[in-house]
Structure 1
Amino acid sequence: MLRTVYKIPNLNRRFVQFIVVAALFSGLGWLYLSSYGAPEHLHLPHLGSHKDPGSTSDFNKDASHPPGPENDAHPIDTLSRTAETELNILLAKETREISDAASAYRTRRGRHPPPGFDAWFAFAHKNNALIVEDFFDQIYHDLNPFWGLEAAVIRRQAKGFEHVISVRKGNVTWRSDHDRVWMQLWSDMVKGIGEESLPDVDLAINVMDESRLVVPWDEIDGYMKAENASRGFTPTSEVIAKCTGIAALDAEEHAGLFDPEWIPHGPYWALAREGCPPDSLARKMPVTTDFSGAPPLPTEYPEHSYRGYVRNWTLAKSPCDLPNLQGLHGSFVEPISISTSKRLFPLFGGSKLPMNNEILLPAAMYWTSDPFYSGGESVHGGPWAQKQDKLIWRGAASGGRNRRENWTRFQRHRFVSMMNGTSVKLAETSNRPPPNFELPGYSYYGLAAPRNGYLGDWVATFADAAFVHLLCFPDEGEAGKCAYDEQYFSLAAETPMQEQYNSKYLPDVDGNSFSGRYRGFLRSTSLPMKATVYSEWHDARLVAWKHFVPMDNTFVDVYGLMQYFLGFGGKGAHDDVAARIAREGREWAERVLRREDMLVYVYRLLLEYARICDDERHRLGWVGDLV
């Protein structure tokens, strides 16, 4: 009797546009693998593990005869065209009316939107936000497992945590062990939504750089099955339109602190890989404990690449699928801190590894007005034509605790060494191999400089990468130097972001976790080149090769990237492609990575989180478009 009332509305003309666009570009299907739905398919249990169709061992090894019609095109040209298609498919899903947005929600999420969805849509519309349902996939990747926990358990865990942002009747407060700038920034971010719109919630906050939750995959699989079983469309006459609140929780006395049962020791890889599927390579490969010597770099093209270059951004930063990362990244070699829990509880943070279980907020660093991370709100660099044909990188030797025994395995050390003309030239002319990278052969990536013995000389013409502090452990040297690696690195003075924007190429490499400079780079007139293993709130909004240039975490592709953009010997430069990606990335960032867009994301996140924390969550929803 009520079936026709609450069935999913028509899919609207934009869904039809999506089908048409997808069909038009089906010829590129062998290469295209969208990163937008990827978080829901990569490692989430019960939904299946990620596969990369079209990637075979022969395909990765053979530089001269890849499959497909683009044999004669440079792989970056092909990847760039595919990125254009990917963005067009995404834009075809934009919704401008609340009925269309609600329809897209029900189609993608399998339930009614949460209470307050109409107010959220009005807020997004007022702030000129681009509304594409896919943009919010990370929220559901993060929250869906909590449908497997009782709402009362989630509420008590959150309120009992030691670092908490609380909302009560629109009033936002926070509690921590001492003054913490990130707590204040996140609190201000929540306040920015407006007190009349905020549901009553408690947000437990991760104040560490490192990710902290790794719930075993089998356990998350069970929670995901519970979430899947909970989906459905409650009859409109039975839907509850307002959360019942958490007054009963506040009335409880002596609830006490929540104990996540922290594990204070590693090795971290042994803990992290428990969050990977049982059949993943990470679970099958032995745990490495000896990190001395050179890193395990590939002798051929990176796994899953397209003729050596990143073609699936989600897969390229997945430790579950690329277990060699345990010996190539400081997060796994030796983090600064280890404080890990295997218990699922609602811990919010600014970034996480793909196998972690935190709930992502826009990073506090992206909310601050501190020019250290962005160069300021108004300074983003001058015109492309006036920039230097240079690559610049400055930073500390962070990424974990580097020691005499393990520094050769750290990602920032490797990148700086590979972008230093002197160290590369020494590797070319010495009988001793470099300690933390390998010289490339010219047969891969078609490199001209190694063929002529000029790689170091060529790198010196464009690269300016240097540490400002070596952060050795224990502190063995003076003024930021280290006795064990100071012979390989010369320290440089800090270079303000405004000055870095005078160079065309801005590589961005993980530190102790994600890099807080990324949003600033994207908003600049320079070209961001990104390597990371961390997930952030905005991942579903950015298209690799359209808005930024992805790098493999081994950096074996970096010379090929720079030769493509700069050319060699005055030939083969693609400065126009670099300029286009830089321009389109900046324009896109000003559409979808604004402070207003962060508020729209957090507002949606809080509505969904409030529903999950409510005892009536299975009946809560918004059905204003159906009544």
Structure 2
Amino acid sequence: MLLPYYQKQSKYNRVSQPLLVTRVLVLTAIFILTPICVVLRPLPSSSPSAAHYSTQDFADDSPALQEPMSGPTQTQRPIDPTELAARLDAQLAVDALFARQSTTLVQAISRYELRTNRHPPPHYERWFQYAQDNKCLIDEYDQIHRDFEPFYELAERDPGYFRRMIERAKSELAADSSGICVIDIHDGIASASGYCPTSYVDAWPITFDKFSRILPDTTFLISSRDEPRVVFNTRDPAALESALGNATDNSPFHISPRPTTAEFFDKQSGCQVPISGHGFMRSVNAEHSFLLSTYQPGYTTDLYPLLSMAKATPCFSDILFPAEYYYDRSWWSGKFGYPDIITPWEEKQPKLYWRGSSTGGKIVGSNYHNFTRFKLAKLASAHPTLMDVAITNFEKHLCDEAVCDGARVIEEYNITGKGEPRENVYEFKYAMDVDGMSFSGRFLGLLKSGSLVFKATIFTEYFSPWLRPFEHYIPVKPDLSDLVQRIEWANANPVEARRIQQRGLAAAKRVLRDEQNDCYFAAVLFEWARLTSFKLSL
């Protein structure tokens, strides 16, 4: 592992309330007085690492290759007042978010206590200073509090529960890690305990070393798979007593129903995932690849503490952390070439664009017809004036020839195997983000692309409370039943569509930076460390 990373940061110069008011007045005056002939210049990049990258000849699912490339010549064009207003609105929204954060340790502690009804974890002042130095949000961590709340409630009844379940997991995983790593933090240094089976072997050490120096000693469990693992509905009325009872899962993190996972989820509490959050309950289970036929299940039905990249609630109770897909510094990031020079909005095609592989789940017979990506391709073929969609690569490892006719699937969906540069999305007003094996990992990259993002997912991720539907992106039901209607709305309401696009762009660039991800990850581990040595004195 790498040694801890030390770098002195400037103090957090937060946007004060009077300054925010002044900025509103100044920017409003600019909007009113700026001549239409003002030349539009590209927005500054959110970080020095967002240089130019080439993804030529790679499918959209592939991480961007970090090779410099020259960009097109920037041309001058008049500012559209509608665009200026949308940018102003987006920048003010982010300014307001930062302006309402705590500015002192005392204030931060009081707000933490108000939100959680408990004191902050030991050494919270270290995290607070780290967050200020890195210009992070201070108070907006409700997702962390939600993820840990069941464990705090258990700790009130059984203070040793959290640590005991960690030790039990380590023992169960000793022979077969099932994609889970055990990470020790000792004297500010992070190191893997035993075998760590992960594709992020080069990425995680860099991430951990950004903040391990401020962490108390602890040991945590982290999943290297995209799929969530802890199938336990804490909202079930019997869940608390069930967790306090003896563990019933004889093979934790190894439950792998075959040939599909559909029947397994049908029997689990909270695992009927609704298509919509309102109206009559209608399950999406029969229309989503993850729920129908998970590629790598490896579940447990006991409540173990485990860090995962995404989860479907209330079916899963994993604790969320930022995936490497969302770090600009990471090879796994969904970066795009020419991040500061994009096709002007009015020159983009008013269509929805998506390219990707056939990921989603194990194909058994004709079940792929209900996989989200295949449904998207079929829907697009029926609406060519609204969508430009293609499956570019067939994932053979998801097709066991004993139960899957790969040639038939390839022919049915005209899968050519030819990838396209992900920068092609710049030519379209709308970009689609849709689940694959689990979450897609593209979301932040698409928000930064300059297109309005349409997102269909059943998963919660660490940023879900920060990136809100109808404010930063257009939500789409996971069965895609309202996608056509959503696109037609965007075409009929260009001003409002532009406002949402700009808000998503500003939030992705200014809020969800690498440093913010580090602050989130560190905050998670402070809570984790407290629960491993919980005392009834909170």
1:185 correspondence with 2:203: yes
- Which residue does the alignment assign to 1:549? 474
1:619 correspondence with 2:537: yes
| 5+ residue gaps, structure 2 | 1-16, 18-89
Asked whether the equivalents of residues 307 and 319 of structure 2 are also in contact (C-alpha less than 8 Å), the reply is yes
Asked whether the equivalents of residues 86 and 543 of structure 1 are also in contact (C-alpha less than 8 Å), the reply is no
Asked whether the equivalents of residues 391 and 413 of structure 2 are also in contact (C-alpha less than 8 Å), the reply is no
Gap change, CA 1:410 and 1:275, over 3 Å in 2: same
Of residues 394, 398, 405, the one that matches 2:359 is: 398
1:198 correspondence with 2:159: no
Of residues 353, 357, 362, the one that matches 2:322 is: 362
Tell me which amino acid in the other structure corresponds to 1:552.
K
1:419 correspondence with 2:380: yes
Gap change, CA 1:202 and 1:225, over 3 Å in 2: closer
- Spell out the pairing of 1:337-348 with structure 2 (5 A cutoff): 337-348=296-307
- Which residue does the alignment assign to 2:182? 164
Asked whether the equivalents of residues 184 and 190 of structure 2 are also in contact (C-alpha less than 8 Å), the reply is yes
Post-superposition shift, 1:383?
Answer: 3.5
Post-superposition shift, 1:470?
Answer: 3.0
Post-superposition shift, 1:191?
Answer: 1.3
1:471 correspondence with 2:395: yes
- In 2, distance between residues paired with 1:224 and 1:95? 36
1:388 correspondence with 2:338: no
Asked whether the equivalents of residues 448 and 509 of structure 2 are also in contact (C-alpha less than 8 Å), the reply is yes
1:575 correspondence with 2:534: no
Post-superposition shift, 1:590?
Answer: 2.1
Gap change, CA 1:467 and 1:176, over 3 Å in 2: farther
Of residues 212, 219, 226, the one that matches 1:209 is: 226
Of residues 124, 128, 142, the one that matches 1:137 is: 142
Q: Relative to structure 2, which stretch is displaced further, 176-185 or 383-392? A: 176-185
Cα displacement string for residues 340-365 of structure 1 (whole angstroms, at most 9, x for unaligned residues): 11122221111111121211110122
Post-superposition shift, 1:333?
Answer: 1.2
Of residues 503, 511, 530, the one that matches 1:592 is: 511
- Spell out the pairing of 1:256-335 with structure 2 (5 A cutoff): 260=252, 262-265=254-257, 268-272=261-265, 276=269, 282=272, 304=278, 322-335=281-294
Of residues 521, 526, 529, the one that matches 1:602 is: 521
- In 2, distance between residues paired with 1:377 and 1:537? 27
Gap change, CA 1:488 and 1:607, over 3 Å in 2: closer
Asked whether the equivalents of residues 430 and 453 of structure 2 are also in contact (C-alpha less than 8 Å), the reply is yes
Post-superposition shift, 1:464?
Answer: 1.4
Cα displacement string for residues 399-451 of structure 1 (whole angstroms, at most 9, x for unaligned residues): 1012333121111111111112xxx2xxxxxxxxxxxxxxxxxxxxxxxxxxx
Asked whether the equivalents of residues 200 and 610 of structure 1 are also in contact (C-alpha less than 8 Å), the reply is yes
- Which residue does the alignment assign to 1:565? 490
Asked whether the equivalents of residues 167 and 202 of structure 1 are also in contact (C-alpha less than 8 Å), the reply is yes
Gap change, CA 1:557 and 1:380, over 3 Å in 2: farther
Cα RMSD between the aligned structures? 3.6
| 5+ residue gaps, structure 1 | 1-13, 15-82, 227-257, 286-297, 306-320, 425-458, 567-572, 621-627
- Which residue does the alignment assign to 2:370? 409
- In 2, distance between residues paired with 1:385 and 1:544? 23
- In 2, distance between residues paired with 1:88 and 1:170? 33
Asked whether the equivalents of residues 214 and 271 of structure 1 are also in contact (C-alpha less than 8 Å), the reply is no
- In 1, distance between residues paired with 2:239 and 2:263? 17
Asked whether the equivalents of residues 394 and 465 of structure 1 are also in contact (C-alpha less than 8 Å), the reply is yes
- For 1:483, what is the secondary structure of its paired residue? helix
- In 1, distance between residues paired with 2:186 and 2:358? 42
- Which residue does the alignment assign to 1:153? 164
- Which residue does the alignment assign to 1:174? 192
- Which residue does the alignment assign to 2:56? none
Tell me which amino acid in the other structure corresponds to 1:188.
I
Gap change, CA 1:199 and 1:600, over 3 Å in 2: same
- In 2, distance between residues paired with 1:492 and 1:205? 34
Post-superposition shift, 1:224?
Answer: 9.2
- For normalisation by structure 1, the TM-score amounts to 0.61
- For normalisation by structure 2, the TM-score amounts to 0.71
Gap change, CA 1:185 and 1:200, over 3 Å in 2: same
Of residues 232, 240, 251, the one that matches 1:221 is: 240
Gap change, CA 1:591 and 1:85, over 3 Å in 2: closer
Asked whether the equivalents of residues 325 and 333 of structure 2 are also in contact (C-alpha less than 8 Å), the reply is no
- For 1:465, what is the secondary structure of its paired residue? strand
Gap change, CA 1:152 and 1:129, over 3 Å in 2: closer
Q: Percent identity, aligned pairs only? A: 28
Tell me which amino acid in the other structure corresponds to 2:148.
L
Gap change, CA 1:474 and 1:127, over 3 Å in 2: closer
- In 2, distance between residues paired with 1:129 and 1:154? 32
Asked whether the equivalents of residues 375 and 496 of structure 1 are also in contact (C-alpha less than 8 Å), the reply is no
Post-superposition shift, 1:496?
Answer: 2.3
Gap change, CA 1:194 and 1:91, over 3 Å in 2: closer
Tell me which amino acid in the other structure corresponds to 1:116.
H
Gap change, CA 1:303 and 1:174, over 3 Å in 2: closer
Cα displacement string for residues 383-404 of structure 1 (whole angstroms, at most 9, x for unaligned residues): 3234333321011111101233
Asked whether the equivalents of residues 91 and 503 of structure 2 are also in contact (C-alpha less than 8 Å), the reply is no
- Which residue does the alignment assign to 1:483? 408
Gap change, CA 1:215 and 1:564, over 3 Å in 2: closer
- Spell out the pairing of 1:228-247 with structure 2 (5 A cutoff): none
- For 2:518, what is the secondary structure of its paired residue? helix
Tell me which amino acid in the other structure corresponds to 1:144.
E
- In 1, distance between residues paired with 2:375 and 2:345? 28
Gap change, CA 1:261 and 1:475, over 3 Å in 2: closer
Q: Relative to structure 2, which stretch is displaced further, 511-520 or 92-101? A: 92-101
Gap change, CA 1:554 and 1:380, over 3 Å in 2: farther
Of residues 305, 319, 334, the one that matches 1:373 is: 334
- In 1, distance between residues paired with 2:197 and 2:337? 24
Post-superposition shift, 1:111?
Answer: 0.7
- In 2, distance between residues paired with 1:261 and 1:599? 27
- Spell out the pairing of 1:428-467 with structure 2 (5 A cutoff): 459-467=383-391
Greater Rg, structure 1 or structure 2?
1
- In 2, distance between residues paired with 1:361 and 1:380? 31
Asked whether the equivalents of residues 290 and 437 of structure 2 are also in contact (C-alpha less than 8 Å), the reply is yes
Gap change, CA 1:262 and 1:465, over 3 Å in 2: same
- Which residue does the alignment assign to 2:23? none
Asked whether the equivalents of residues 215 and 344 of structure 1 are also in contact (C-alpha less than 8 Å), the reply is yes
Gap change, CA 1:264 and 1:559, over 3 Å in 2: closer
